[in-house]
């Protein structure tokens, strides 16, 4: 009887799953805490309150109903100025007494740099900040408000328990020549992005591939936009994002515990890229952030 009991408990011990390394869990938790802090910052994604697209020619700015760029009541005069779009350039003309600043300065006119051209020029009307975004051949004004209801109601993003089995080493298979991919967006458009190669790896004993992208050649890192079998059930329907360091000796570490929701999961005013067809994983990746829900 004693020998039988010993064998029973030995089997239990051998079959038990070792708890995740405490230092690893702590590192992932710290990363996620930092992400939530950035989300909830005064100018974070949760502060988005508007996105107004500009037309060629003159566009109105102010708090008056019908303004092309409509500011919240009390932040500026009814007619505060105009934006003129010509040849892919946006120029702002601010009326006297508008109280609106450009990069912290009171100016009458200025040609504005968009986000796609580097750090954008920032306008401020009271507590509202706004700046030009460029998406393909479209130009618009993105508005942020630290008093946004989404920011005030934020209580964190649910996620799966940290599980080191979702941290895998992938083989990087470079293309002979980097490929340009037309990545779809929620706007119904596409954006060209560079794909340097393929990542081949195993998850739960099954083989998969993902095609990473490079957003900024000046600061290269691998950017993955993917969907999986949990999308639309436990995780955000349109997929999630994941970053990884550039390959070292042909290897790349993919840590799906750090997979996170795109900005569109938190705001209708974001302009997110969508996963390309080749990045649809036929497995439920129960790691990283869960669906944030309605917003």
Let me know: does 256 contact 201? Beta carbons within 8 Å. Answer: no
Class of the CATH-defined domain 45-152: mainly beta
Please state the rounded mean pLDDT for residues 178-207.
95
Q: Is 204's pLDDT higher than 60?
A: yes
pLDDT tier, 265 (very low <50, low <70, confident <90, very high otherwise): very high
- pLDDT for 13: 42
pLDDT tier, 18 (very low <50, low <70, confident <90, very high otherwise): low
Show me where the domains of the chain are located: 45-152, 157-182+189-295
211-230 burial code (b ≥16 CB/10 A, e <16): bbbbeeeeeeebbbbbbbeb
- pLDDT for 217: 84
Please state the rounded mean pLDDT for residues 242-251.
97
- For residues 144 and 124, give the distance between their C-alpha atoms in angstroms, rounded to a whole number: 10
Q: Tell me if the pTM is above 0.85.
A: yes
pLDDT tier, 222 (very low <50, low <70, confident <90, very high otherwise): very high
- For the beta sheet containing 128-135, the strands, ordered from the edge strand earlier in sequence to the opposite edge, are 48-53, 138-144, 128-135, 123-125, 101-102
Task: Render pLDDT for 159-190 as a digit per residue (tens, 0 to 9).
Answer: 999 999 999 999 999 999 999 999 999 999 99
């Amino acid at each position: 009887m004693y020998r039988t009991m010993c064998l029973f408990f030995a089997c239990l011990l051998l079959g038990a799953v070792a708890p995740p390394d405490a230092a690893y869990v702590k590192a992932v938790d710290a990363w996620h805490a930092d992400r939530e802090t950035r989300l909830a910052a005064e100018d974070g994604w949760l502060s988005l309150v508007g996105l107004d697209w500009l037309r060629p020619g003159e566009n109105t700015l102010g708090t008056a109903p019908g303004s092309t760029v409509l500011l919240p009541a009390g932040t500026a005069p009814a007619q505060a100025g105009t934006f003129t779009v010509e040849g892919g350039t946006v120029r702002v003309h601010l009326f006297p007494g508008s109280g609106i600043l450009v990069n912290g300065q009171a100016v009458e006119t200025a040609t504005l740099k968009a986000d796609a051209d580097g750090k954008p020029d920032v306008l401020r009307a009271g507590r509202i900040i706004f700046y030009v975004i460029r998406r393909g051949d479209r130009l618009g004004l993105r508005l942020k408000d630290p008093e946004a209801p989404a920011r005030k109601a934020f209580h964190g993003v649910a996620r799966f328990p940290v599980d080191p089995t979702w941290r895998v080493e992938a083989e990087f298979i470079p293309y002979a020549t980097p490929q340009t991919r037309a990545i779809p967006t929620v706007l119904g458009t596409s954006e060209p992005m560079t794909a340097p190669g393929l990542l081949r790896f195993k998850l739960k004993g099954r083989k998969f591939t993902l095609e990473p992208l490079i957003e900024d050649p000046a600061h290269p890192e691998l950017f993955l936009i993917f969907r999986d079998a949990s999308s639309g059930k436990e995780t955000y329907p349109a997929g999630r994002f994941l970053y990884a360091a550039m390959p070292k000796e042909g290897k790349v570490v993919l840590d799906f515990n750090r997979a996170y929701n795109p900005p569109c999961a938190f705001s209708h005013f974001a302009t997110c890229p969508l996963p390309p067809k080749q990045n649809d994983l036929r497995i439920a990746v129960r790691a990283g952030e869960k669906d944030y829900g309605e917003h």
